[in-house]
Amino acid sequence: METPKNARTELLRQIKEEVVHLLDSPLVLERKKNRVFPVIGEGNHNAGIMFIGEAPGKNEAATGRPFCGAAGKVLDDLLQSAGIERKDVYITNIVKDRPPLNRDPSPDEIALYAPFLERQINIIQPSVIVTLGRFSMRYIMEKFGLSEYQEGISRIHGKVFPAKAEYGNITIVPLLHPAVATYNADTKSLLTKDIQVLASLSLPKK
Ligand code: URA
Question: In a 3-state reduction of DSSP, which class is residue 57?
Answer: coil
Which pLDDT does position 205 carry in this prediction?
A: 62
pLDDT tens string 88-126: 999 999 999 999 999 999 999 999 999 999 999 999 999
What CATH number does domain 5-199 carry, 3.40.470.10, 3.40.109.10, 3.30.450.40, 3.30.365.10? Answer: 3.40.470.10
Q: How far apart are CA 77 and CA 74, in angstroms?
A: 5
- CA 15, distance to chain mean position in Å, is 15
Work out the average pLDDT over 30-40: 97
- pTM recorded for the entire structure: 0.95
Total Cβ atoms within 10 A of residue 3: 17
Distance 70 CA to ligand 1 centre (A): 9
Q: How far apart are CA 167 and CA 54, in angstroms?
A: 24
Q: Is the pLDDT of residue 130 over 90?
A: yes
Which atom of ligand 1 is nearest the CA belonging to 132?
3
Q: Are strands 168-175 and 161-165 parallel, antiparallel or unpaired?
A: antiparallel
**HEC string for 81-126:** HCCCCHHHCEEEECCCCCCHHHCCCCHHHHHHHHHHHHHHHHHHCC
Q: Are strands 90-93 and 42-43 parallel, antiparallel or unpaired?
A: antiparallel
Distance 1 CA to ligand 1 centre (A): 30
Work out the average pLDDT over 66-79: 97
Residues with CB under 6 A from ligand 1: 39, 53-57, 60, 66-67, 71, 93, 179
Q: Could you tell me the residue ranges of all domains in the chain?
A: 5-199
From 60, 91, 134, 182, the mutation candidate for ligand 1 (largest count of ligand atoms within 8 A of CB) is 60
pLDDT tens string 172-202: 999 999 999 999 989 999 999 999 999 988 7
Question: In a 3-state reduction of DSSP, which class is residue 167?
Answer: coil
